[in-house]
Amino acid sequence: MTFFVDRNLGYGLREPLQRLGFEVVLHDELFAQNGDDVEWLEHASIHGFPALSPDKNIMRRRLELQAVIDGRLRYFCFGSGRADTGTRIKILEKHIGSIKALCVHMPGPYVARLTGQNLQFHWLGD
């Protein structure tokens, strides 16, 4: 399975995600740094990639949320946009079983918010 990683996470999560069994496509490999988020959300949806982002506020942004819903995207975000890479890696390691199970068994659209304590799941479908 391939994860699409948002530009705001940079390159620091590529190797940890690969160690956890995922292929990785980085935003900056395909899109301009200042590009429109809807564009990459649609790209991830079209290719069936779950998305990983630090942006937990997607539920408040109408156009981006609509892109997640329309594309039936599986969207994973961190509970704190300010967490450092080491903390994010620990959070991914903690929730890897749930992340894989959701990716395999639960079609989108949904938002799954990852924190050090839990995984909060928000179904966005019918």
- How far apart CA 31 and CA 102 sit, in angstroms, is 27
For β-strands 110-114 and 119-123, DSSP reports them as: antiparallel
0.85 cut: is pTM over it? yes
Q: pLDDT-based confidence at 70, cuts 50/70/90?
A: very high
Q: Are 65 and 58 in contact (CB under 8 A)?
A: yes
Q: What is the pLDDT of residues 42-57, one digit of tens each?
A: 999 999 999 999 988 8
Domain positions in the chain: 2-123
**Domain 2-123 bears CATH identifier 3.30.450:** no
3-class SS of residue 115: coil
Mean pLDDT value across the chain: 92
